[in-house]
Amino acid sequence: MKVLLVDPSLYTPPYDAALMRGLLAIGVQPVLATRPLRAGERQDIPADCTDAFFYRRTDRADGLPPPLRLLLKGCAHIAGTLRLIGKVRRERPDVVHVLWLVLPPVDLVAMALIRRWCPVVLTVHDTVAYNGQKLAWPQQLAHDRSMKLAHQVIVHTRSGRQRLVRRGLPDARVSVIPHGPLGLPLFAAAATARDPRWTAVLFGELKPYKGLDLLIEAVGALPAPCRRQLRVVVAGRPRMDMAPLIARILALGVSEQFELRLARLSEEQMAALFAEADAFVFPYRQIDASGVYYLVNSLGKWLIASRVGIFAEDDISGAGRGALVPPEDVPALGRALQHAIETRPSGRAGTVHPWSDIAHATRALYERAMTDFDSRLAGRARKAWQR
């Protein structure tokens, strides 16, 4: 079985690599359509299973003004998508599996064409588009319509599946396939110096839905003696304006509590940070499945998270692994922080879904998509013959 996986911007390299290794182990022949690797990125995905034709000339346009950079990337995405369509038409893979939508109006047109030649599977990591970020109506419409074009849709949580079925997707076309564990080879690295304060980490790309503003307010509301025992490390590349948040940290007088590492961390830096952490915080407004959660799930650290998506479904509170709070409830978040600071609870490693099981479930879904596609072709052929 030949499968073309599509992740143009390489949003989730560890996920893509683990899924591809699982598929290769059970006889599927995957190729990933994506972009070239950037400086500092490891070749986790075998080079002979990668076709890096997206953004070959525009991926390093960081020095340009943001509007021009976005325009250039949009044009490059259209060019790459045209090349993708041509590749599918020539090579006719058994399945095209879209792992991420980048520019939904363009991706929608591509899916409409590709589904004429082979079945299309779509993984919807976020059933609420961009986790609630405000979108122009063409973007929102195309995001929703793309799910209806796919022959099969994969989500990672039961709540995500229920949401899509309520929005009109046929029950038989939406499948829950869990997200597998992610890891780094350097997790065993020791921290160089241990801060005596209780260290909570908010990690990953910084976007509005992740609730950093809520965390700042919760820390600001802590009693002063408790607050002095807390250190919060915020680590990740900003994808939003940080100036108002930094100003709020200063206004609340909690700059000694917050350590901001506003850049993409290397694996060595991540390993050292994770070794320092006493807890990880996820004050998210909205999420289905969190890649950061699957990265730290096996570390046995205390977790404080909003009662949304995978955090609620894994019931980290009932499992004794952390505390769940209502989303956007600053007082509840503050109480969870204060309890953890005062009691220093020990976490526990969470259960994981083996990638071998995920690969088998994904292959079974590919086979369903192929059967559905073949039956539709046969139906169209019968109608044409009857005419």
Task: Give the mean model confidence (pLDDT) for residues 99-119.
Answer: 95
pLDDT given for residue 87 in this prediction: 97
Report yes or no on 349 lying in a domain: no
Identify the CA nearest to 176 among candidates 190, 187, 189, 162: 162
The pTM is what? 0.89
Q: Which range of residues forms the domain containing residue 309?
A: 198-343
Instruction: Tell me the percentage of the chain whose pLDDT exceeds 90.
Output: 70
- CB-based burial of residue 104 (10 Å sphere; 0-12 exposed, 13-18 middle, 19+ buried)? buried
Q: Where are the alpha helices (DSSP H) in 3-152?
A: 13-25, 66-91, 104-114, 137-149
Instruction: Tell me the percentage of the chain whose pLDDT exceeds 70.
Output: 93
In this structure, the number of other CB atoms found within 10 A of the CB of residue 103 comes to: 17
What Cα–Cα distance (Å) separates residue 243 from each residue in 49, 209, 247, 248?
Answer: 42, 17, 6, 9
Task: Give the mean model confidence (pLDDT) for residues 131-160.
Answer: 86
Total domains in the chain come to 2
Reduced 3-state DSSP string for 174-214: EEECCCCCCCCCCCCCCCCCCCCCEEEEEECCECHHHCHHH
Task: Give the mean model confidence (pLDDT) for residues 195-221.
Answer: 96
Report yes or no on 235 lying in a domain: yes
**How far apart are the two ends of the chain, measured CA to CA in Å?**
34
SS3 assignment, position 345: coil
pLDDT given for residue 251 in this prediction: 97
Task: Give the mean model confidence (pLDDT) for residues 82-101.
Answer: 96
339 and 359 co-located in one domain: no
Does 24 score more than 90 pLDDT? yes
Q: Which residues of 353-385 are buried (b: 16+ CB within 10 A; e: fewer)?
A: eebeebbbbbbebbebbbeebeeeeeeeeeeee
pLDDT given for residue 65 in this prediction: 75
273 and 306 co-located in one domain: yes
Q: Is residue 349 very low, low, confident or very high in pLDDT (cuts 50, 70, 90)? A: confident
pLDDT given for residue 75 in this prediction: 92
CATH number at residue 115: 3.40.50.2000
Q: What is the pLDDT of residues 169-192, one digit of tens each?
A: 999 999 999 999 987 655 455 546
State the helix-helix crossing angle for 104-114 and 66-91, rounded to 10 degrees. Answer: 10
Using alpha carbons only, give the angle 77, 83, 88 rounded to the nearest 5 degrees.
Answer: 125
Q: What is the pLDDT of residues 365-384, one digit of tens each?
A: 999 999 989 887 666 654 55
Spatial contact of 150 and 174, defined as CB atoms under 8 Å apart: no
C-alpha to C-alpha distance for 351 and 82, rounded to whole angstroms: 41
pLDDT given for residue 41 in this prediction: 79
C-alpha to C-alpha distance for 146 and 240, rounded to whole angstroms: 26
170 and 29 co-located in one domain: yes
152 and 203 co-located in one domain: no
Report yes or no on 310 lying in a domain: yes
Does 269 score more than 70 pLDDT? yes
pLDDT given for residue 128 in this prediction: 84
Q: What is the pLDDT of residues 293-333, one digit of tens each?
A: 999 988 889 999 999 999 999 988 877 899 999 999 999 99
Q: What is the pLDDT of residues 223-265, one digit of tens each?
A: 999 999 999 999 999 999 999 999 999 999 999 999 999 998 8
Q: Is residue 63 very low, low, confident or very high in pLDDT (cuts 50, 70, 90)? A: low
Report yes or no on 186 lying in a domain: no
pLDDT given for residue 371 in this prediction: 92
pLDDT given for residue 268 in this prediction: 85
User: Regarding beta strands 95-98 and 50-51, do their DSSP bridges make them parallel or antiparallel, or are they unpaired?
Assistant: unpaired
26 and 147 co-located in one domain: yes
